[in-house]
Amino acid sequence: MKFGVILFPGSNCEHDCYYAATKISGEKAAVIWSGAADLPADFQDPQGANCLIIPGGFSYGDYLRCGAIARFAPIMNKVRDYAERGGRVIGICNGFQILVEAGLLPGVLHRNRDLNFICQDIFLKVENRKTIFTQKVSKDVLRVPIAHGEGNYYCDDAALEKLEKNGQIVFRYCDAAGNVSPESNPNGSRHNIAGLCNAQGNVLGMMPHPERCAEAALGNTDGRMIFESIIAAVKEKVAA
C-alpha cells in the first residue's frame, strides 16, 4: 500500500510520519505538497491501497487559529473529496486541527486549559478497537507522547451525544491503569477526548503522536499498532 503525507508550510512531523510509514512499516509513501492542484495518481481511487496522513507541526505558523489557514490550501479540496468518497485519512496533532477546521471532523480545538504548551508522554484508553485505525491494537491503554498548545477539544452537547452514541470517540486521556478522570486530562479536553473519527469511520483525528513511539529504539512501540491497523485494514479491503 502507499501512504501520502500532506506537507504544509510549517509542518514539522512529515519526516517522522514518512519514516514510520516506510522504514518501520515497510510500505511506500509519498510527500504531497499542500499547494498541489490534485492528489497523485496512486490516490485517485480512494478505495485503493492508500491512506493520507496530515502530520503535526505549525501549519502557516498557526496564524489566526491552528489549522484555520491550512484548510484553504489547494490540496484540501482534494483531501475532502477523497475522504467523502471513503478514502482513509489520519490527522495527527496539527493534522487533527486541520481536519476539524476543514469540517471533516466535528468540534473545535481550543488553547490548553492551563494555556501552556505541553510536551510529555500521556496514557490513552482505547475506546473503540473496531476502527480502521485501531483493529490491530492489542492493549487497552497506550503510552503516546503529546506536543501541543491547542489540544483542548470541545463540542456542544448534541455533538457529544452523537459521538458517544456512534462510538466515534476512539481515544481518551487516562492514567496508567486506564482510569479516565480530570487528573489524567492534560489539556482540559471535553470528556477527556484525545482522538475521534467521523461517522463513516474512515477519518481519524488524534492529538497524540503515534509516529513518535513506533520503534524499539525510542523505548516505546505502542504507536506502531496504529500504522499496523491501517495497513491491515487497507490490505483486507483490497483483497476483498
Distance spanning both ends of the chain, measured CA to CA: 15
Strands 108-110 and 89-92: unpaired
CA angle at 15 for the pair 210 and 85, rounded to the nearest 5°: 70
pLDDT single digits (tens) 133-182: 999 999 999 999 999 999 999 999 999 999 999 999 999 999 999 999 99
Question: What confidence tier does 116 reach under pLDDT thresholds 50, 70, 90?
Answer: very high
Residue with cell 483531501: 79
pLDDT single digits (tens) 41-64: 999 999 999 999 999 999 999 998
Residue 238 has pLDDT above 80, yes or no: no
Q: Which domains does the chain have, with CATH numbers?
A: 2-239 (3.40.50.880)
The pLDDT assigned to 239 comes to 77
The pLDDT assigned to 141 comes to 98
Task: Examine the residue annotation and report whether 15 is marked as an active-site residue of this protein.
Answer: no
Kindly name the residue from 127, 209, 213, 228 that is annotated as catalytic: 209
Kindly name the residue from 127, 211, 213, 228 that is annotated as catalytic: 211
Provide mean pLDDT across the span 9-18.
97
Task: Examine the residue annotation and report whether 211 is marked as an active-site residue of this protein.
Answer: yes
pLDDT single digits (tens) 73-103: 999 999 999 999 999 999 999 999 999 999 9
Provide mean pLDDT across the span 124-136.
97
Task: Examine the residue annotation and report whether 236 is marked as an active-site residue of this protein.
Answer: no
